[in-house]
Amino acid sequence: MGDMANSSIEFHPKPQQQRDVPQAGGFGCTLAELRTLMELRGAEALQKIEEAYGDVSGLCRRLKTSPTEGLADNTNDLEKRRQIYGQNFIPPKQPKTFLQLVWEALQDVTLIILEVAAIVSLGLSFYAPPGEESEACGNVSGGAEDEGEAEAGWIEGAAILLSVICVVLVTAFNDWSKEKQFRGLQSRIEQEQKFTVIRNGQLLQVPVAALVVGDIAQVKYGDLLPADGVLIQANDLKIDESSLTGESDHVRKSADKDPMLLSGTHVMEGSGRMVVTAVGVNSQTGIIFTLLGAGGEEEEKKDKKAKKQDGAVAMEMQPLKSAEGGEMEEREKKKANAPKKEKSVLQGKLTKLAVQIGKAGLVMSAITVIILVLYFVIETFVVEGRTWLAECTPVYVQYFVKFFIIGVTVLVVAVPEGLPLAVTISLAYSVKKMMKDNNLVRHLDACETMGNATAICSDKTGTLTTNRMTVVQSYLGDTHYKEIPAPSALTPKILDLLVHAISINSAYTTKILPPEKEGALPRQVGNKTECALLGFVLDLKRDFQPVREQIPEDKLYKVYTFNSVRKSMSTVIRMPDGGFRLFSKGASEILLKKCTNILNSNGELRGFRPRDRDDMVRKIIEPMACDGLRTICIAYRDFSAGQEPDWDNENEVVGDLTCIAVVGIEDPVRPEVPEAIRKCQRAGITVRMVTGDNINTARAIAAKCGIIQPGEDFLCLEGKEFNRRIRNEKGEIEQERLDKVWPKLRVLARSSPTDKHTLVKGIIDSTTGEQRQVVAVTGDGTNDGPALKKADVGFAMGIAGTDVAKEASDIILTDDNFTSIVKAVMWGRNVYDSISKFLQFQLTVNVVAVIVAFTGACITQDSPLKAVQMLWVNLIMDTFASLALATEPPTESLLLRKPYGRDKPLISRTMMKNILGHAVYQLAIIFTLLFVGELFFDIDSGRNAPLHSPPSEHYTIIFNTFVMMQLFNEINARKIHGERNVFDGIFSNPIFCTIVLGTFGIQIVIVQFGGKPFSCSPLSTEQWLWCLFVGVGELVWGQVIATIPTSQLKCLKEAGHGPGKDEMTDEELAEGEEEIDHAERELRRGQILWFRGLNRIQTQMEVVSTFKRSGSVQGAVRRRSSVLSQLHDVTNLSTPTHAILSAANPTSAAGSES
């Protein structure tokens, strides 16, 4: 084949050049060659490697690297490799430009209406009717003519346009900074990911982006492979390639059968070494990304096309047992544009609330316009009896436009477009700050969900404990040592066996390195349990390194790596005499069952019967476990030269063992954990420990942490017992049985990842409490993925966690510490409270502004607050206030209350009391000013002013007072639980102070110098002081409201409830489906089409039989849930029929509307 390739070159001049360029770089493989190599699998790939390179080491030689030493860590060489073979980096999609964001912000319906109205108003203002007929058109523009200000008519339209531009720019800027923060977060997550490579014979952790072709990478359990490579050596390696192939079965990899490792796949078991052959855009994942056009613009065009098809795809994806048809359509629409996760609880509540408020605003604004128009028409044409003259048309139209603008303004103020903004700002701010608290948030909504958490299922090792393990007790040669024995106390044979068993039968990547600083503890690298054992060897004044050098990793005959099913690890080596020796270590109760002998004090074998084992468990293992130690048994077995067993029959091989020792490993509880758990319990969050450890060890540690307290009624179960209690005779899990267990369960020991997932799912699906439980889970292992995904919030360990766990999680704990979870709860609750503060403020303004505009318009035919003023109020309310109130830092007091739960309304009774209370005060003041203000201040009345008349002091005072009241009410809004001291901690939030003072400053400028565009005339100092005085009155009034006990106000309703029960479950049905990413979507389409084919036949039969059985609608209703969804699927019912079916079931119709 090699010769063939060379001979064929003469005919193809192009590849010739291509081939020479890299070889000028001095490497024996071209990029294209390696790419084609990586597209082969299994036997084909092996054949190709043999033909082209001889074997893998030949490939390494061509790539100028050594299978054992790796690359020389030489920057020029690494740089050259990057230039020739590319960097390990897939360029992200271009972020949206600022102009694109501006364009998106302009799509807002209310803004568009305003723009149109403003442009019409502008156009009309330039049209002056012929002078002599102006009398005939009534008192239309009399006042304006006197002042000679008719030319200023355009100002209002221009001002509206200007304020629209302001709103748009602010929105776009906020989106842009959010996007930027999110990109920063992404790159931070990417930088966090490191991978182990060998360079200069040293193991190094390098960032994934620094990998180059030719690197020798160490692959271990739990890794997400960052590049393509060819295996050099492997122990029991199994890979989950479902992300590329969609096959969920784990694929066995070995250097002599299938050596191809692909980027983006997960290592589920075992370990090995590979030589990197393709990185970045040239790796398999990179190629897929390029096809998906992560960088290209085709995406956009595809998107538009896809929108049409997406409905279809979404239909394909629909779980076939869907909800009612009506709701289904709704959700399809949502899903076609939905991001991956379901809407968070908070967003759900907010969207609903915003829609309700928007509807109310729309009604109000429509009524306002209608009343104004009717009043004008009746006044002009009926009362004054004028006729509509052609030349007066523009004048009348101008009036109608003015009314329309007032109506739109009412609408603008009524629609709280600041809500989504407040959520985004608050979440983005929290996420940024949570970084400092060691929480790396991967999904924004996780942050807020965390505030509602009611249960945390935590791992033990590393989260509650320090993950710095040491052997403190041991049982060697018939003696139980409570501390490390002196080496002289042990028989040389035992000592020798022990040192070999520990040094060889542990991952060679696990090491103990000298401390970085003088007097510090030695550094533990790799698996912490193995580090403890290696530390034990060092404490016995022996060294593990020489043993490993004598038997290097590639000399190991067979390795059974540790996994959660085996709970043990075994390694086989070949003895000089041709026999084999197997070393095994693992959980003591599991391994001791396989032991038939034990070494006595002289190092000789002694029989070990089940009775001896029970003695040992009782006298040695249980006492160790009750001290909170993990017990590990170390054993070996010899096979003589003649009897080589069948190595694949693991149960045979790892049996009939001889126990060398049992050691007790201490993993001390982190000193700060008991306090953190106390905080959780005070905050109404139940902490459960789920661990793979022995039940006694788990119980001891749970007691130290304060998870279980003496005298409480709690359960500590082992995985087996847990399963026995929750499964019925057929072995199926029953929710009722689970509901009997989980409320009291505090410790689940010896649990498998499946048990963890079962528990989490059981708690989430439970309907026993009045609230649905919100569960957070911590995990670090590959197999914790399902539980992390199922949980409402999944925490992965940043240090000990595998890449697979990090991928499945929502938040990464960068310091693996439980206290960081408590911080996350604090931030989550803070987000919720910030939004509530903003709502309380926003709704007060909305209620007041809408009522003022409405009644003002109805009584005086003109809104006291002009369009531009309304827009300014809207800007401070919406944008600035959301910034000010959404960035309040959290306080410890947040942890003193119980979680809100998923269906608690956003606006509590207390908040409703505040909103209505303040609204009453503000309306009283404004109406007083509106109707008797001119007498009080001794100024001209601003009521009934003609079109284009100059701004009056009267209305300016109303506007100014209104804004002052809002400013002081913003301070009131900082507290939502009825606290008295609203200034508490105000200086810890500089953003808030800046915004309040800034708004005040701008307000002065607007009033004194705003003139015609803002319809303001400058005020005197005395008038200013009155405005301020009324504003400060807000704070006093706030105290009055706080005095009224909420419990007396039974009449107040709460608002902003979460989505109803039935909707919720549907959302979740869909959510499960949405977690499948797009690549899998493509792969699963085939299967789904097949199922749907079958389903359709089945459905058509059902439909036929249903209608046979009952001609009436009732029969149809009875079968609604199963049939309707599919009916919808099958025939895409025309709307009328659909409506009848929905109407037959009012609940479904209501459900689909909301």
- Which positions are catalytic? 459
Angle between helices 298-317 and 325-337 (to 10 degrees): 150
Asked whether 204 and 196 are in contact (CB, 8 A), the reply is yes
Asked whether 334 and 327 are in contact (CB, 8 A), the reply is no
How far apart CA 962 and CA 1006 sit, in angstroms, is: 14
Cα-trace Rg, the chain:
37
Asked whether 1026 and 283 are in contact (CB, 8 A), the reply is no
Name 661's bridge partners. Answer: 476, 634
What are the respective helix, strand and coil percentages of the chain, to the nearest 5? 55, 15, 30
Closest C-alpha to 918, from 863, 973, 986, 875 = 973
Tokens of 28: 């024996």
- Residues in CB range of 1150: below 8 A, 6 or more apart: none
Helix (H) or strand (E) holding 559: strand 558-560
Name 598's bridge partners. Answer: 606, 659
Q: Around Cβ 969, how many Cβ atoms within 10 Å?
A: 27
Tokens of 752: 């498998």
Closest C-alpha to 598, from 588, 488, 486 = 588
- Residues in CB range of 23: below 8 A, 6 or more apart: 30
How open is the CA angle 510-520-667, to the nearest 5 degrees?
55
Torsion of CA 48, 50, 54, 58, to 10 degrees: 50
How far apart CA 844 and CA 752 sit, in angstroms, is: 53
Closest C-alpha to 284, from 234, 239, 340 = 239
How far apart CA 466 and CA 477 sit, in angstroms, is: 31
DSSP-derived letter for residue 258 is: B
3-class SS of residue 584: strand
Residue 460 CA, distance from chain mean position: 23
- Residues in CB range of 1108: below 8 A, 6 or more apart: none
Helix (H) or strand (E) holding 34: helix 31-38
Name 587's bridge partners. Answer: 632
- DSSP H helical segments within 94-141, as ranges? 98-106, 109-125
How far apart CA 379 and CA 399 sit, in angstroms, is: 13
Torsion of CA 599, 600, 601, 604, to 10 degrees: -70
How far apart CA 34 and CA 85 sit, in angstroms, is: 9
Looking only at the bridges linking them, the beta strands covering 194-199 and 216-220 are antiparallel
Closest C-alpha to 211, from 265, 274, 303 = 274
| Burial (Cβ within 10 Å: 0-12, 13-18, ≥19) of residue 311 | middle
Angle between helices 109-125 and 393-414 (to 10 degrees): 150
Tokens of 549: 């050098």
C-alpha dist (Å) from residue 260 to 34, 232, 239: 12, 10, 11
Q: Around Cβ 451, how many Cβ atoms within 10 Å?
A: 26
Q: Which amino acid type is present at position 337?
A: N
